[in-house]
Structures are given as structure tokens and as C-alpha cells.
Structure 1
Amino acid sequence: MTGGAPSSRRIGPRPMRKPERGETSVRDMLGALLLLIPIALLIFTVGGSCSFAPTGPAVDPGSGPTVNVAERLTEYARGSAFALRVPDVPFRANSTDRGPVEGGGTAVRVGYVTPDAEYLSLVQTDASAEGILATESGAAGSGDGPPGARGTTSAGGLTWEIYQADEGEPFRIATLPGAPETRLMITGSGSEDAFRTLAEATATARTLPAGATTG
């Protein structure tokens, strides 16, 4: 073994080094930025359809799909056996469809959202009152009885028969004058004022005759 100065090569783990101030700041900023990006995306996505409320988010009645009622009803009228009415109401129409009714007949439906974010459905049909009530209430497929009669009300110059299950939404049915016999039904969570607005607008609306080819 020869003598001499000890080797300067270090053996073992390198001691911990306190990061420089500049390194810490950059790393912290990058970490905070990565955390903020998904939060910002979530706020941007939800913010378009909701607004802050102390009790929770409120649905924006202006969000969601919008349909052109006049165009859709004109299409349905071409193959309809009864005339269709096109009401002009301050509600947003978000759906339309046409389908069969229990016991025979056809139903043409338009769904509306009111400015208070409530919903109303207008149904025009040549079916019987019993048939359209069973179909729209779901009683036809559930085996349960239809909603019970709850009296009548007047709106738009028509008499509307009211049907309602316990704590359920009311179904209001009116028979239009003339032939063929046609009925209107309005149901949904809308207020009494919203119902009357839609009922009066429908009663005085322009009419598309059966088999119409223009709006």
C-alpha cells in the first residue's frame, strides 16, 4: 500500500441540496397552472347552461334545442287527417313529434319551455279523450288507471276538462268545434298563467288544413 493524498472521489449518496429560489418558483407556477386548467374548463362548460344561485345551479331556460314549430307542423299537416293549429307563444319550443294513440287516432305534440324553466306539452289529436289521456299519462302501458277527473276550467273560449292523479301534473283536454272531431290537450309543470297563455294562443292560432302543402 503506497502513501499519498486521499482520493477526492465521493463514495455514498450525494447530500440533499436546497433548490434555488428560481427553480422553486417555476415549479410551483407550473403545478398551479396544471391544477387551474381543468377547473377553468369545467366552469366554461357548465357556465353556458347554469347560473349561480344560493340554493344551487339554476337551469337556463334559453339553453337546449329549439325547433321551428311552423315548419314541423306544416310537415305533419301534409299527412294529417285533421287540421293543425300553430300557436304563437312567448315560449321556446324544444320538441315535436307525431304518433299513434291508444284506441286509435294520432297525436301531434309540441313541447315548450317557459321563461320560468317550466315545461308544457300541447297535444292535438283526433283520438278520444279516454285514449289520449291513457296515452299521455302512461296509464295505457303501466296497468294503472288514468288520472281522475278534477272538474273543468275555461280558457281561450273553450271548456277544458281537468284530469290529475294525486300530486301529479294536470292534464287539460278541450274539444274543438267542427268536424272532424279534434281535441287539444295541455299538460306539464307550467303554471296556471302559462297554461292560459298557451290555451288562448292555440284557440286563436292560424290553422293548417289537413293535407296542407304550405305553411
Structure 2
Amino acid sequence: MEDQFIKMASLIGDPTRASILWTLLDGRAFTATELAVSANTSPQNISMHLGKLLDADLLCVEKQGRHKYYRFSNKEVAYALEAMASLVPKPKVFSKSKTENYPPIKFCRTCYDHLAGKIGVALTDSLLEQKIIVDKNNSFEISSEGEKWFSDFGINLEEAQKQKRIFLKPCLDWSERRNHIAGSIGALLLNKMIAEDWLRKNKNSRAITVTSKGEKELLKYFKIVV
């Protein structure tokens, strides 16, 4: 196990491969050319790095027409990267106003396929305070009241449980240093809020914009003041 851990840490720790993995946290699939531009390296070099990530089963590749698209092999890769990012030391702040301005990427963003940042953590806190979900030894579960809440909210828990992935879990937020919701429930919450135009994705960024409708609905359902 120790040897395997050292190999994995060395693999991820390479600057070019780290840049590739950070780009893929967007949740979308990218071509080798797009990843080369993102990592500021040559097509030949990106091919070598992608090969190593594929061999380690951190990435998978899908072919569509003449193009190959790379993405994470499973969602646990995204969770691990988000947790690693939380180890980055926070910048020293000597004075902080009550109305601190958050950069968009820290305020509200996607973490692969679920909501993260200040809003993602606030949403999780609200669900815990309302006892819609409960924290049991750093593991999230849906309460009996929560089952009714999700049904009323329009999320089918039975369908979510049938998905071949983790149902519900805490994911350590790298900017807030606290947990937000991940798993199929986290993905369904984000998808619904985007479909209902509470949130809008920004082009070429993981940052998420909260709409005026979203401000009202987040206050109504989660008591979040944007």
C-alpha cells in the first residue's frame, strides 16, 4: 500500500498532470489539444502525460468521430482532488470586513457534478439544520423527514439510489474547509437548480452565477441570503 501511495502521489504531483486533473474538475470532457492549451504544453508532451493517467485508471477516454475526449474514470477522483486542494494554506488576512467579497470561484462553483464554494457549504448547513440530512460520524444520511422533503422538492430518491455511484456523501470543500454534499443527491440538487434557472453555468469556468430567481428560492428553501 505504501509503495502504491507513493506512486500515486508522484503521478498526481507532476505539474502538467496536476494541471490536467484540475481542468477536468470542470466536469466536462476535453480533447488532448484542449488539455495541452490548458496545461501550456505541447501535443507530444500532453500525450505522454495522458497515457500515464490512463494507465493509472485516473482517466478514461471516449472516441466521438475523429476526436478523443478525456474525463475522470470515476467520480471518486474528483472527490480526492477537491480534498487535496483543501490542504493548500489559506492566505493570511489581517483585516476582514463583515461583507467580505468572495471571488466567483470561491463563492459558488461546481465540484465536478455538484455544488461547492460558500453557497454549496451553506446549502449543506441548511439541510443539516433542518434535519433533512443528518451527520453520522462524518457520513451523511437522509432522515425520514428528509425523504418527504426531497419528494416535495422533486427529487426521486429511489431513482437516485439505483445509480451506479455513491448515493450521498460529504465532500471537503477546498475554499471553505468544510463539507458540501456530493454523490448522486448532490448532482441531482445542482441539476434541478440549473434547470429551474436558480443557477447558471459560466462559459470556460467552474464558477456559477446565482440568478435573481435563485436568490429568492435559496432564501425560501434553504434560508440562504445571497
Q: TM-score normalized by structure 1?
A: 0.20
Q: Which has the higher contact order (CA 8 A, sep 6+)?
A: 1
Higher fraction of strand: 1
Higher fraction of helix: 2
Greater CA radius of gyration, 1 or 2? 1
Q: TM-score normalized by structure 2?
A: 0.20
